[in-house]
Amino acid sequence: MVRLTIDLPEGALAGLGKEPTAFAAEMRLTAAVKWYEIRLISQGRAAEIAGLSRREFLDQLARFNVSPFQYGAEEIVAESRG
């Protein structure tokens, strides 16, 4: 496991109403969701980064209004045409 240290303004934690441990978990989840959304990582890797099971990660995608599918409509149509 790699440990990172991030300096944040004092008000950052208070603004979200979270203690440091919960804030760190939320940052991991948010980063994992965004990286998944922009197709940098797979669902499995994103779940691992977020510290969740794959099922739990899929549930969290709905909270962020991110589709669990990485294919757009155009890609599905193009793929079906061969």
Residue 43 within any structural domain of the chain:
yes
Tokens of 7: 């300096």
Q: What's the whole-number mean pLDDT along residues 36-54?
A: 96
Are 15 and 37 in contact by the 8 Å Cβ rule? The answer is: no
More confident residue, 10 or 33: 33
pLDDT class for 16, splitting at 50, 70, 90? confident
pLDDT digits (tens, 9 = 90+) for 49-59: 999 999 999 99
Q: What is the mean pLDDT of residues 4-24?
A: 84
- Give domain status of residue 8, yes or no: no
In a domain, 21, yes or no: yes
User: Is residue 65 within 8 Å of residue 72, measured between CB atoms?
Assistant: no
What is the Cβ-side half-sphere exposure of residue 66, based on CA atoms within 13 angstroms? Answer: 22
| Residue 44 domain boundaries | 14-81
Can you give the pLDDT at residue 49?
Answer: 97
Count of domains in the chain?
Answer: 1
* pTM of structure: 0.81
Q: Are 58 and 43 in contact (CB under 8 A)?
A: yes
Which residue in the block uniquely carries the two structure tokens 């934690």?
A: 13
**In the predicted model, what is the mean pLDDT of residues 47-74?**
91
